[in-house]
Amino acid sequence: MKILVVDDEPLARQRLCRLLRARDPHDEIREAADGMEALEQNRLFEPEVVLLDIRMPGMDGIEAARHMGQAEHPPAIVFCTAYDEYAIAAFESRAVGYLLKPVQQEKLASTLAAAAATTRYQLQALAHATRQERRCLSSRSASGTRLLEVSEVRVLLADQKYVSAIHPGGSLLLDESLRELEEEFGARFLRVHRNALVAPAWVRGLHRDAGGEWVLEMDGVDARPVVSRRHLADVRAALADL
């Protein structure tokens, strides 16, 4: 079995690797020290199972798992956690594999035997239940998974079944609905139209265009999202508070 062990604590990684080798010396094991390194190892190594710590600096384990789920052949995820009873209940209610730290050999063996790929919706629900907000958005392409810092996004624009995250370097096509993104990042983005959310911090002006529609000037991008009549008062109020 190909297994990726992800933990920011070297001793915790070493202990898990020892337990894995004692269980089956033929396992192929690699390590990663954080979420970003885990994504790179997942791309290069294509593990069958990832043993993933949750609380790590930078990109946490739940966010890393959500990005791994974008892969063509996503690995089975087993979270390793020292969370309290409330968080454990969140894992159990969503049928997500987990191991409590310190990991025990018997539990490790049984969990690996039952490990299965975690769905996107399970991970979304888990992130919501444990209040884990992503730092990055991701999109799968022929060259692999592309990441975009949420802080760089100026506009989220819906077009049929996809959403484009517009940023100074271009745009990233997301396989998520605008409603899902609004629910997750409601504090970061403002609804200005049924098909658009904007980052208020990057708004540079509100004015009427030649056709009489209210549009927003955004810093660093050419996109000029239209503000609908329904949302105009809320937009003006939000911009007045900046």
pLDDT tens across 88-100, in order?
776 776 667 888 8
Tell me which residue has tokens 């004692």.
Answer: 22
Give Cα separations from 39 to 45, 74, 145, 149 (angstroms).
10, 11, 8, 15
Instruction: For residues 21 and 112, state if they share a domain.
Output: yes
Q: Let me know if residue 135 belongs to a domain.
A: no
Q: Do 162 and 114 have their domain in common?
A: no
Please check whether residue 140 lies inside any domain of the structure: no
The answer to whether the beta carbons of residues 191 and 179 sit under 8 Å apart is: no
Q: Is residue 144 part of a domain?
A: no
- The answer to whether residues 22 and 95 belong to one domain is yes
Q: At what angle do helices 120-129 and 61-68 cross, to 10 degrees?
A: 160
CATH at 116? 3.40.50.2300
Domains held by the chain: number: 2
Question: For the range 33-36, what are the long-range contacts, defined as Cβ-Cβ under 8 Å and sequence gap of 24 or more?
Answer: 33/6, 33/7, 33/8, 34/6, 34/8, 34/58, 34/59, 35/6, 35/59, 35/60, 35/61, 35/63, 35/64, 36/64
- For the full predicted model, state whether its pTM sits above 0.75: yes
Using one digit for the tens of pLDDT, what is the confidence trace for 204-227? 999 999 999 999 999 999 999 999
Q: Is residue 145 part of a domain?
A: no
Report pLDDT for 52. Answer: 93
Name the phi and psi angles at 141, rounded to 5. Answer: -135, 180
Q: What's the domain range around 228?
A: 153-240
Q: Does any domain span residue 234?
A: yes
Are residue 18 and residue 56 in the same domain, yes or no?
yes
CATH number for position 217: 2.40.50.1020
Q: Are 53 and 114 members of one domain? A: yes
Same domain for 104 and 159, yes or no, is no
